Amino acid sequence: MLQFSSIIDAISDLLSPIFALVPADWLVSLPALTLIAFGILSLVVGMRTSPLAVSFIGIILAGFEMILIAPGSSFGGLFVRDTFGDFFIWIILVVAFLILLSSTTYGGNKGTYNFLLMMSFAGAIWVVMATDLVALFLAWELMSTPTYVLVALGPHRGAIDGATKYFVMGLLSTTLIVFGIALVYGTTGATSFAAIGAFVETVWSAASPSAYAMLLAMVLFLIGFGFKVGVFPGWMWVPDAYATADGSVTGYLAGATKKTGVSALLRILLVGFVAAQMEWMPVIVTISILSMVIGNVLALSQRNIMRMLAYSSIMMMGLLFVGIAAGTAFGAAAAMFTAFAHALIKTGAFILVWALAVSIGKEITYDDLKGLSARAPIAALLMAIMVFALAGAPFTAGFWFKWFLIPGAAVDAGLWWLAIIAVLNSVFALGYYLRILRYCYFMEPTEGTTIRVPTIPLVAVVLAVVGTILLGIFPGFVLDYATIAAGAIVP
């Protein structure tokens, strides 16, 4: 981006009178505030006509503001834009853009739908900007609450079931997080990550008994935020909510909200509890191994593609946690690259499956994919590239994180056995990825009719696929950014 910096400076100089209207303390949070403003606007517009254009403008404006406004802190330092946060904000904005493209097939013409999505996007941006537990909690709720409703808005009655499960488990995790915050505040008297980090360091060097309260809080955070990420032990809601919600919302849950949980955990563990690395490492290792195994084994036994993809993202998050377990800057960068690549691939995959489901008019199972290469060649090709990206084929983004970054990070940290477990799980995952290709390409269609997949969601999928392949050839584009961002938070 360096070559553009002079142009960016010129434009931001040009726009500085407008930015000056915004209170200085709010300026850095402007992308999130923009999303909120446009969300309310789309609620109003939605009373008359389809408000999707309003939401698009909001997302694009937020993207420009990200480029034009220099990083800094807002709301008295509660929400800070640093390179680390920016990395995740870009994930959220990219996913949000793709999701809005996909919403044209279902729900996008309703004001409430747009409003809820935009609120959730804003909350997600604040989650990754938060440097304080209370601020994090507020943003977390702003992000989560609309998604409960969005899942319930799904196309058939099953959505209520999925949403209920999601909501109840979400509340449980929220309770755990609140309890963890209470423990931390009671022990340290502070809620900012930096202060907690300093406190943990003194406690660990002095071996004082309050370490146990902090450890309990840490485990509660792991479970609470891990719930949203969809790793052991809070993974049970994932397949139900993903399979019953409408596909765009699923794409958002899998692509963006998962990653905010990752960012929150990275901040808590690597800033707040960095001194306790020896204590949290085994916990994370256990979580990651169990998530990989559970995700893999259960994904193998699914017939419904949405559910299969849901379980495969549980497995992917287990893989990502291997990077966190390494606890090094390289590990964090590997986890962040994984987060970005996974957001791109999984969002695309969910949008594609959803678009197919809308055109066929039923939930997609393996049998519906029979002979897809003959019935919808372009969709089949895109599906094949997505599946290969998930499986880690060369010249896709999946190759780098599955075979290079994650095992590399684990070996770098001395966890070579964990690297072997991770790659063996990746190989195991081929069992269900290849099955999709088998149905799409090797089997003859049972029905001769062609499937007309709606165009605009297909454009979103093509964007995701192109991004995936570009990242496969030039991983440095994201990896360098991830390296800098990880270096910013890991000492």
Partner 1 sequence: MQLGIIQDLIALLPMENILPLMLFAPLVAAFIAYILGARGARALTLVVTFVELLLSLVLIIAILPNPGVMWYEWYFTLSTVQFGSWSAILQIYLGVDGISVAMVFLSNLVVFIAALSSNHIDKSKNLYYMFFLMLQTGLLGVFMSLDLISFFIFWELVLIPMFFIIGRWGEEGCEHAAVKFFIYTHLGSAVMLVSFMALFFLGPGTFNMLSIKAAPIAINIQIGFALAVFLGAGVKLPVFPLHNWLPWAHVKAPTPGSVILAGILLKMGGYGFIRLGLWMVPQGFARLSIPFAILAIFTCIYAAFVAMGQTDVKSMVAYTSINHMAWVLLGVAIGGFAIGGGATEGQLFSASLAVQGAVFMMVSHGMISSVMFILAGQLKYSAGSREIPAIRGLMTKAPRMSAVFILAVFAAFGLPGMSGFIAEVLVLFGSVNIYIWSGFIAFGIFVTVGYLLWTLNRIVFSDPDPEKEVTEAPWSDLIAPILMMIPVIILGLWPDLVLNLVMPIVNDMLGVIP
Q: Point out which residues bind partner 1 (CB under 8 A).
A: 328-330, 333, 373, 388, 392-395, 399-400, 403-404, 407-408, 411-412, 416, 419-420, 423-424, 426-427, 430-431, 434-435, 437-438, 441-443, 473-476, 479-480, 483, 487
Residue 59 or 315 having the CB closest to partner 1:
315
Residue 143 or 270 having the CB closest to partner 1:
270
Residue 361 or 491 having the CB closest to partner 1:
491
We find the least distance from the C-beta atom of residue 420 to partner 1, in angstroms, to be 5
We find the least distance from the C-beta atom of residue 414 to partner 1, in angstroms, to be 9
Residue 122 or 406 having the CB closest to partner 1:
406
For the chain, give the secondary structure using H, E and C. Answer: CHHHHHHHHHHHHHHHHHHHHCCCCCHHHHHHHHHHHHHHHHHHHCCCCCCHHHHHHHHHHHHHHHHHCCCCEECCCCEECCHHHHHHHHHHHHHHHHHHHHCCCCCCCCHHHHHHHHHHHHHHHHHHHECEHHHHHHHHHHHHHHHHHHHHCCCCCHHHHHHHHHHHHHHHHHHHHHHHHHHHHHHHCCCEHHHHHHHHHHHHHHCCCHHHHHHHHHHHHHHHHHHHHCCCCCCCHHHHHHHHCCHHHHHHHHHHHHHHHHHHHHHHHHHHCHHHHHHHHHHHHHHHHHHHHHHHHHHHCCCEHHHHHHHHHHHHHHHHHHHHHHCCHHHHHHHHHHHHHHHHHHHHHHHHHHHHHHHHCCCCEHHHHCCHHHHCHHHHHHHHHHHHHHHCCCCCHHHHHHHHHHHHHHHHCCCHHHHHHHHHHHHHHHHHHHHHHHHHHHCCCCCCCCCCCCHHHHHHHHHHHHHHHHHHHCCHHHHHHHHHHHHHHCC
Residue 26 or 416 having the CB closest to partner 1:
416
We find the least distance from the C-beta atom of residue 337 to partner 1, in angstroms, to be 10
We find the least distance from the C-beta atom of residue 322 to partner 1, in angstroms, to be 12
We find the least distance from the C-beta atom of residue 468 to partner 1, in angstroms, to be 15
We find the least distance from the C-beta atom of residue 408 to partner 1, in angstroms, to be 5
Residue 4 or 417 having the CB closest to partner 1:
417
Residue 274 or 333 having the CB closest to partner 1:
333
We find the least distance from the C-beta atom of residue 400 to partner 1, in angstroms, to be 8
We find the least distance from the C-beta atom of residue 438 to partner 1, in angstroms, to be 5
Residue 218 or 339 having the CB closest to partner 1:
339
